[in-house]
Structure 1
Amino acid sequence: MKRLALIFCLICLSACSKEVSSINGEITNIEKDTLEIICSNYVTREKNIKSNDDIGYSCKVKITDDTLIKSDNGEEITINDLQQNDVVSVFLKEQKKLTEDINSRILEAKEITLIENR
């Protein structure tokens, strides 16, 4: 009985963690190996408030040699093909809980897909 209760508690806790394995957002800045992406809706979702929060949150997405970058039709592209204001989908190397803490919003990309080229 105790074992069953423990398993139930662990399942409930993991369901409440709201860790994300991917994010979608608009690119606000591009550097050599980093994209800055608007991720306010993920942070405010964690805070359980509406996304009309006046504070805008961004995530820094690190790009490594292993990161696959592709267009929405699956064609492989490079970071040079991405532009500010493009909308991308980022699959993370590992799940992460995004909060107001800036360190929680430093992510490493496994795969990036260009969704909308603006």
Structure 2
Amino acid sequence: MKKLFKKRQKASKSFKRLCKMGLYINLIFLCIFLGSVGYLGIGAFKQTYIFVEANRNSPVYDLLSRAEQRKIRTGQITEKTWLLANSEVDQYMKQKYNRLSEKQRTLVDDLVQKGDIELKFNSNFFLN
């Protein structure tokens, strides 16, 4: 009877050890996963904005997002203000692959030098 009891105790300790080891391995994978998501998604917390006068004839008009262009067309925005840039300009500012033409890149670079374009905290990420 004692042999059986010791054998069961040994198996129980071994099982507990394996469960703890499995839990630690899962925690390590969870940390790696969350770290990877955070590292790859950190760019979503910044968004490119352009300080521009609301004018459809401006060369900067094509660099604005479609929503901002619509607001200008309908007259919702009339003064000079910070407006959301389109996704291609945003990717260019984040130094990622982009499809901007050479003319648009030059325009964005000029705006950067003048301080009329910058990356700001993306509050829309949390509010929409």
Sort the TM-score into its range (normalised by shorter chain): 0.3 to 0.5
Pick the structure with greater CA Rg.
2
User: Higher strand fraction: Structure 1 or Structure 2?
Assistant: 1
Tell me the TM-score normalised to structure 2 length.
0.33
